[in-house]
Amino acid sequence: MRLRRVVLVGLVAALLVGALAPGVPAARAKGKTHKVGAEGSFPRFSFEPPDIEIATGDKVVWTNNTSAEHHVMPYGGPWDGAEPLHLDADGGKSSFVFKKPGEYLYYCDLTFHGQLLPGDLCAGQCGSITVN
């Protein structure tokens, strides 16, 4: 009986020391999932909501609610130059987990959906994600 108590006290002490030790990351809750939809019809497609604010580690899921295919083309922020996400027509989905803070800009690069203008401005089907 005494041996079990000593082992139990030692185990609890080890857990407390590990939980309070500096430099040991605490377990983080799984990030939230946010939804963005590709909406509308030709020639007025949009991402809804176009601009969202999320926490580091959160995931965004884009769903295509139109009969045309779309892309989520990164063009600004920490994901500049990343591969585009493809959204098949009629319900296609794609997602991305945002691991770094910053402002992430994106647009659909398919003809007539969105255009990247001089100065990194976008016209048409565009969006932004602010990660805190």
CATH architecture, range 33-131: Sandwich (2.60)
Q: Has residue 106 got a pLDDT over 70?
A: yes
Section 88-112 average pLDDT: 90
Supply the pLDDT for residue 28: 52
DSSP 59-89: EEEEEE-SSS-EEEEEEESTTTTPPPEEE-T
Residues 6+ apart with CB under 8 A from 11: none
Burial of residue 76 (CB within 10 Å: 0-12, 13-18, 19+) is middle
Supply the pLDDT for residue 116: 66
Q: 8-36: per-residue pLDDT in tens? A: 444 444 444 444 444 444 445 578 999 99
Supply the pLDDT for residue 98: 94
